[in-house]
Chains A and B, each alone.
Chain A
Amino acid sequence: MNEQQKRIIRALQAGLPISLEPYKEVAAGIGITEEELLEQIGQWKADGTIRRLGAILRHHDAGYSTNAMGVWNVPDDQVESFGAEASALPQVSHCYQRPRFADFRYNLYTMIHGKTRAECEEVARRISEQNGITEYKLLYTTAEFKKSSPVYFAEKPE
């Protein structure tokens, strides 16, 4: 990333102003033209540097008040199909394979969202039945200590 690109990232990650011409304002703040900014964003969307440009919502206010981190012990040769099936469900927002550790034998992680615990459990039961994986746990959130958007290229790290 060159300096100008870093400036663009710093400006964008703060969020677009809610105004009729948000890109024009952001561009002016960086000292580039609106066209340059739109072109750079377009390029980043095309090459995947920007995964998504959209509104980020607060789950709680949006009515999805419960989230559970589902952890699953999936045999290595079933990881692929499990990942595909679990990801297909709209209630699953994130699905990752991670290493097992200590006596924690789970290697697949699914973030499950629901309006109630019962809804999360129902989704987990479905995943379990679809894949024949019975060794799993739902870890519910007891406290949300921090939830923030990542800050890239901060001018003063730490």
Chain B
Amino acid sequence: MEKLDAQLLNIIQSEFPVSARPYQSLAKKLEISEDEALDRVRRLAESGIIRRIGPSFDSHKLGHVSILVAAKAPAERLQTVADIVSKFPQVTHNYGRDHEFNLWFTLICRDKDEIVRVLNRITEQAGGIETHTLPSERMFKVKVRFEF
């Protein structure tokens, strides 16, 4: 990766400027032109490294509830169960893992009732899976950042 791209990514991962001309402030930091800053970010987005530029909201502050679910599905039905789980818009992450609890997913819902409703529908549709809901009791860190 080019050094300038790496520097750009390191900056905008943590903070994208909130101002009328954000690429101008980025350009100033890197001593390049505004157009070059924009072009580089556009290329990083087109190549897929940047998924999205935008806010990460604190779901609790928006009055939402999030939860992690550990599920045990028969190995031969994992894909089927995973597909059922993934199609709910409240499910943000859904991973297969190498453990007896082989499916782990997160839900973000408007309230606890919605969590219960969604989980009931999942278990109805998936049939014969064991699920455990694991609310966070304490958050120590949420920070996805990579150094380039």
Contact = CB atoms under 8 A, between A and B. Distances in A.
Query: Are chains A and B native binding partners rather than an unrelated pairing?
Result: yes
Interface of A: 1, 9, 12-16, 18-24, 34, 38, 41-42, 44-45, 47-59, 61-64, 69, 79, 83-84, 86-87, 90, 92-99, 101-102, 104, 109, 113, 137, 139-154, 157-158
A55 B50 contact: yes
A87 B47 CA distance: 31
B136 to A, nearest CB: 5
Nearest to B106: A150
B19 A149 contact: no
Q: Which of A14, A18, A92, A99 has the most CB of B within 10 A?
A: A18
Interface string B82-124: 1101101111111111110111110010100000000000000
Given A22-B22, A57-B51, A96-B138, A1 B63 contact: yes
A158 B89 contact: yes
Q: Which of B12, B21, B136, B141 has the most CB of A within 10 A?
A: B141
Contacts of B101: 104
B134 A140 contact: no
Interface string B133-148: 0111111111111111
A54 B141 contact: no
Contacts of A150: 57, 59, 64, 92, 108
A141 to B, nearest CB: 5
B82 A93 contact: no
Given A50-B57, A98-B137, A140 B62 contact: no
A19 B98 contact: no
Contacts of A147: 92-94
Which secondary structure dominates chain A's binding surface?
mixed
For chain B, the bracket of interface size reads: 35 or more
Give the 4 A-B CB pairs with smallest separation, nearest first: A143-B96, A83-B140, A87-B141, A97-B138
Contact of B53 (A34, A54, A62): A54
Contact of A54 (B14, B48, B57, B135): B14
B52 A149 contact: yes
A52 B142 CA distance: 10
A23 B90 CA distance: 27
A93 B141 contact: yes
B58 interface: yes
A18 B41 contact: yes
A94 B141 contact: yes
Contacts of B85: 145-146
Contacts of B138: 79, 83, 96-97
11 contacts: A55-B16, A59-B144, A62-B146, A86-B140, A86-B141, A94-B141, A95-B139, A96-B138, A113-B146, A149-B56, A150-B92
